[in-house]
Structure 1
Amino acid sequence: MQNNGRKLYFSLKSIFLHIDNQEKSLLAQYDLNIPRFYILMHVHEQPGVNYNELSDLMLCTRGNTTRVVRSMQKEGLLTRKVNNDDRRCYHLYLTDKGERIFTEVYIAYKQQIDRLLARFSEDELTSYTDICEHIEEVLTPIG
């Protein structure tokens, strides 16, 4: 069991590194890194998301999220609006520039995913998805 577990672990790490390198290469063409792209994506998908929710989606601390968001605000990609019920809470939105960049990058991002997975059959993709969802479920911390 231990040997198979380690083989699976290193296989997952290798897969992650391949995907990560492909993403970094693509996003660099748009002057983005992975966290900035995912912030654009999450705010695009959930306009008005607050810092705590975004931190949960990004799987990082609120401090890290705040630092990246501030940088993106300075570049005119994001804007924040105060919550009228709780003035300590801010909601995030893409600016027109942020929306334009996200839309352009996301088209290329989807094309890259399609290219990377094109050699798999639909049955293989279904099987791999089921297995990966189970692995994610098992590895996700409870609480």
Structure 2
Amino acid sequence: MSDKELLYNLIKETFLLLDDGDRRFFNHFDLTVSRYYALYHIGEEPGISFSQLSDCMVCDKSNVTRIIKGLESVGYVVRQPHETDGRTLRLYLTDEGTAVLNQIAIAHKSYIEARLNFIDEIEQDNLIEGLSRLNEHMKHDLYGLVEEIPL
């Protein structure tokens, strides 16, 4: 196995471990990871469109529609028509959605701190720098490289 393959496998395993931990954590609040991050992005950008939310969550619009329907059914999110473009819907948190997001975000921050507490400051700085570069490159080349590699 090459160093690049090892690195890829370690990053992938880390993602799976982080995702599983988040799944277990958010389950205590009767939320999925996707629903939490939808709440988070709507809270960060009130009035966000389905398309923008889809981009933020790196998933297709039909998946976002399903997530939003679930959040609407529990009273956390409402959709409203765009002021000038009748074809576009904007998403907002309800008061209950805002309260739930605030409560969970505080608990999630503590959870993250506890999970990553073993990493010292120098390691953390190096990880932040390296992973930030990796993420920028991956975002820039999200679709292009797959299409260039002969399968």
Question: How high is the TM-score relative to the length of structure 1?
Answer: 0.94
| Number of the residue aligned with 2:118 | 119
Q: Distance in 1 between matches of 2:116 and 2:110?
A: 10
What amino acid maps onto 2:75 in structure 1?
G
Q: Distance in 2 between matches of 1:7 and 1:123?
A: 22
What amino acid maps onto 2:129 in structure 1?
D
| Number of the residue aligned with 2:108 | 109
- In the TM superposition, residue 19 of structure 1 has moved relative to its aligned partner by 0.7
Q: Residue 118 of structure 2 aligns to a residue in which SS? A: coil
RMSD: 1.3
Q: Distance in 1 between matches of 2:129 and 2:78?
A: 38
- In the TM superposition, residue 87 of structure 1 has moved relative to its aligned partner by 0.8
Moved more, 91-100 or 131-140: 131-140
| Number of the residue aligned with 1:87 | 86
| Number of the residue aligned with 2:71 | 72
Q: Distance in 2 between matches of 1:115 and 1:71?
A: 30
Point out which structure has higher relative CO (alpha carbons under 8 A, 6+ apart): 1
| Number of the residue aligned with 2:30 | 31
Q: Distance in 1 between matches of 2:16 and 2:37?
A: 17
- In the TM superposition, residue 138 of structure 1 has moved relative to its aligned partner by 2.4
What amino acid maps onto 1:10 in structure 2?
N
Q: Residue 2 of structure 2 aligns to a residue in which SS? A: helix
Q: Residue 81 of structure 1 aligns to a residue in which SS? A: strand
| Number of the residue aligned with 1:138 | 137
For structure 2, the residue ranges without an aligned partner over 5 or more in a row are 145-151
How many pairs were matched up? 142
1:51-100 deviation line (CA, Å, top 9, x unaligned): 11000001011111111111211211101111121111111110111111
Q: Distance in 2 between matches of 1:138 and 1:18?
A: 23
Q: Distance in 2 between matches of 1:17 and 1:86?
A: 39
For structure 1, the residue ranges without an aligned partner over 5 or more in a row are none
Q: Distance in 1 between matches of 2:67 and 2:22?
A: 18
Q: Distance in 1 between matches of 2:58 and 2:76?
A: 21
What amino acid maps onto 1:3 in structure 2?
S
Question: How high is the TM-score relative to the length of structure 2?
Answer: 0.89
Q: Distance in 2 between matches of 1:64 and 1:14?
A: 24
| Number of the residue aligned with 1:56 | 55
| Number of the residue aligned with 2:9 | 10
